[in-house]
Amino acid sequence: MRVAILRASVHHGCMRAVVYERYGSPDELELREVPRPDPGADDVVVEVVAASVNLSDWEGLRGDPAYARMAGPVRPSAGRRILGTDVAGRVAAVGANVTDFTVGDEVFGDIMPRYGTFAEYVAAPAASVVRIPRGLTFAQAAALPQAAAIATYAVSLARPGDRLLFNGAGGGSGSLAVQLAVAKGVHVTAVDNAGKLDFLRRLGADEVIDYRRDDFTRRGPFDVIVDVVARRSIFAYRRALAPGGRCVVVGGTTRAVLRMLTVGALLGVVSGTRLGVLIVHQVPAAFLPVAEQVARGELAIPIDGRYSLDAVPEALARHGRGEALGKVVVAVRDDPRGGPPLEPDRR
């Protein structure tokens, strides 16, 4: 699958970006020339070197679950037609109120609730980005912000000796959470499809479960359950928890998330367990410590593949099929910090 390229006359102030105007499959994506963004007073414009794919991008493309249609109930609004929130690149312009960055600084971050990093340039709140630690490539930096923040918050719920189960462990946040939890002395059960189980064992997981063959809610008990693809009932989660245990969901169906917010809170009061939604503040303080660990060689950030800008549909499709081992990266420009070249079939 290759993105359709719509060409227009090139002039100053234009850039290439992957755009979609309707919810649906990766076939809705088109590589277009669009106006380059200007910085707001508190923004920096980042010349994108690399971005990465998150579950929020796949959900935003499809408009499913329902909460993914915040960009517009029927179709994405005019200002939300470029996906991507994780970014690494160079500062190309700064807003009037920005004093922490200058043009040329190498930065990375998660610009959510904004989108737009699947493009050559993106306007980002200056507070959402931070300088890239020495020792990280742009691809590694782009793969970290959202995944590292989720992993950090998730692992903070467990204490040394606890039994933690992570459902959806083979993706970006899960692959980091497994490593962080093991290093903390937590017993980790990692759940994903069969194609990822060996990968999860290599990351240090104590036990692995293929969710297609084994219902993890009938295992345990677990002190902490983290589910990034929640689809099960509140009572199934409760069954798998130890007394006083905690279960949080990060993503999943609208029904599962709403029930966790309502019935889950009530059930927790009655049963002595805690069930809810993991609220993640995706700010530099949440992901920079993990990035520094990766830069020092203490953690790995598994990168499944690097795709060029015109191969974004392929990148999203691989992520959406649940095939990626770790993070899928979009390489918008050559990485001056190094890293492997793009694979021939991903240019």
Q: Are residues 137 and 8 in the same domain?
A: yes
CA distances from 323 to 53, 145, 168, 221 (A): 13, 21, 11, 28
Residue 71 lies in a domain: yes
**Helical spans, DSSP H, in the chain:** 55-62, 138-143, 145-155, 172-184, 197-203, 234-240, 254-261, 263-271, 284-295, 312-320
- As a whole number of angstroms, the distance between CA 280 and CA 85 comes to 14
Tell which of 277, 312, 333 closes a domain: 277
Cα(108)–Cα(148) distance, integer angstroms = 12
CA separation (Å) from 291 to 10, 137, 321?
37, 11, 27
Whether the link from the prior residue into 113 is cis, omega within 30° of 0, is yes
Kindly report the length of the chain: 347
Q: Is 316 exposed, middle or buried (0-12, 13-18, 19+ CB in 10 A)?
A: buried
Q: Quick one: pLDDT at residue 340?
A: 55
Instruction: Write down which residue in 277, 294, 324 finishes a domain.
Output: 277
Residue 297 is assigned to a structural domain of this protein: no
Q: Rounded to whole angstroms, how far apart are CA atoms 345 and 213?
A: 33
Nearest to 109 by CA among 83, 92, 131: 131
Is the preceding omega at residue 125 within 30 degrees of 0, hence cis?
no
Run of H or E residues at 247:
strand 241-249
Residue 17 burial class via C-beta count within 10 angstroms: exposed 0-12, middle 13-18, buried 19 and up = buried
Residue 41: the pLDDT is 97
pLDDT tens profile 298-318: 999 999 999 999 999 999 999
What is the full per-residue pLDDT of the chain (347 aa) written as tens digits? Answer: 444 443 333 335 899 999 999 999 999 999 999 999 999 999 999 999 999 999 999 999 998 877 778 778 888 888 889 999 999 999 999 999 999 999 999 999 999 999 999 999 999 999 999 999 999 999 999 999 999 999 999 999 999 999 999 999 999 999 999 999 999 999 999 999 999 999 999 999 999 999 999 999 999 899 999 999 888 888 899 999 999 999 998 877 777 777 777 777 666 666 667 888 888 888 999 999 999 999 999 999 999 999 999 999 999 999 999 999 999 999 999 888 776 555 433 44
The phi, psi pair for 31, rounded to 5°, reads -90, 115
Look up the CATH number of the domain holding residue 241.
3.40.50.720
Check residue 170 and give its pLDDT.
96
pLDDT, residue 67, reads 76
- Residue pair 108/132 in contact (Cβ under 8 Å)? The answer is yes
258 in a domain, yes or no? yes
Q: Is residue 199 a contact partner of residue 178, using CB atoms and an 8 Å limit?
A: no
**Per-position b or e across 136-150, b if 16+ CB within 10 A of its CB:** bbbbbbbbbbbbbbb
74 and 201 part of one domain: no
Q: What is the pLDDT of residues 41-52, one digit of tens each?
A: 999 999 999 999
Q: Is 339 in the same domain as 230?
A: no
CA distance 317 to 286: 28
Same domain membership, residue 160 and residue 272: yes
Residue 109: give the domain boundaries: 4-143+302-346
Do 96 and 40 reside in the same domain of the chain?
yes
Residue in 214, 118, 131 with CA at minimum distance from that of residue 167: 214
Residue 224 lies in a domain: yes
Q: What is the CATH number of the domain that holds 57?
A: 3.90.180.10
pLDDT of the residue at 114:
92
Are 27 and 90 contained in the same domain? yes
Cβ pair 178, 200 in contact under 8 A: yes
Structurally, how many domains does the chain consist of?
Answer: 2
Residues 266 and 155 in one domain: yes
Q: Hey, what are 80's tokens?
A: 């939300």
The reported pLDDT for the residue numbered 247 is 92
Residue at 293 is within a domain: no
